[in-house]
Amino acid sequence: MDQISTFGASRYAVRDLQLFRDADDPGVVAALAPCAVIKVAAGARVEDGLRARLYIVLSGSLEVAPDAHSVDDSGTTRVLPGESVGEQAVLDDAVNLAAMTALEDCELLVIEPELVWQLIDRSNGLARNLLRLLSFRVRAANAQLKRRQKLGEFYRQLSLNDGLTGLYNRAWLNEMLPKLAMRARQDGSPLSIVMVDLDHFKRFNDTHGHIAGDAALSSAAGVIRDSLRPSDFAVRYGGEELMAVLPDTPLGLAEMVAERLAERLRTAMVFPDMRLPLPHVTGSFGVATLAAGDDEHALMAAADAALYRAKQAGRDRVSV
């Protein structure tokens, strides 16, 4: 990285510099004339001696990677001829920690921070251009943050869904059931759950294979999901255990929902194109409603106890 000229002795004009468009009065031109023009070979880093300087690309291009402390660490930026880098460091009087690397042989105009401030005081056009540039970068950073937030929320939601069935998973239940129970207690509204265990599922897997078992699970999950209201939630609790979470639903209505689920599960097709007798799955259902003074743990325990009674009574039935 060597000085090869000054701006006044170079072939470049002030009008080529984005920051100085409409700001090229004779005083600005004269002030920029002694500024150094340096050459940076392709692949070389721009070493600034840990000083805040303004760099303007005259030819070639730079790759600028944000420093580790930057809020907008969204990736590298390519700086093209006429564009600048380092404005924020100059304005903040802070060390420019951004890593700048020449993508090709570059010529850069280097403006020291003291001169930048003098030129801002002298030229309203430069001040306006600088404000526009910083405003654009703030908007770009905000847009990037919003995209990140949406992407983060997408992956968060993805982590709360079961990959096989598409139902909510245990992580979702652990997060949301306490909130639903608290809301029910605060509002004085009923909250019920239906716990479902597919009957003799191990035997089904052993007979038809695990691929068929996955198809049966997906079929059962579809029955649960498609039979509920938009305000209800279908969950894969674990293994062959499914669950329906029913806000604003008293015990009697929840029992009716369970009976409907049991009936639809008995007739659900697992894989209709198979050249074998069509297998069906059934389930045992335990129903419980949040009691006064209880929490989500007590609700789950009550549903689990009801499910045990359904199994003990012969399976393929509903118990409360």
What domains appear along the chain, each with residue ranges and CATH number? 2-147 (2.60.120.10), 170-319 (3.30.70.270)
Position 232 pLDDT exceeds 90: yes
Chain center to CA of 78? 25
- pTM as predicted: 0.57
In DSSP notation, 220-231 reads HHHHHHHTS-TT
Q: Give SS3 for 241.
A: strand
- Which tokens sit at 100? 């700048």
pLDDT, residue 70, reads 45
What is the tens place of the pLDDT at every residue in 51-99?
A: 788 999 999 999 988 654 444 445 678 899 999 988 888 888 777 767 8
| From 83, 87, 240, 255, the catalytic residue | 240
**Residue 60 DSSP symbol:** S
Place of tokens 């008293």: 250
Residues 142-156 have a mean pLDDT of: 77
Q: Which residues pair with 287 in a beta bridge?
A: 194
Residue at 7: amino acid letter: F
Mean confidence (pLDDT) of the chain: 87
Position 20 pLDDT exceeds 60: yes
In DSSP notation, 139-195 reads HHHHHHHHHHHHHHHHHHHHHTB-TTT-SB-HHHHHHHHHHHHHHHHHHT--EEEEE
Decide if 240 is catalytic: yes
Say how far apart CA 221 and CA 204 lie, in whole Å: 16
pLDDT, residue 92, reads 81
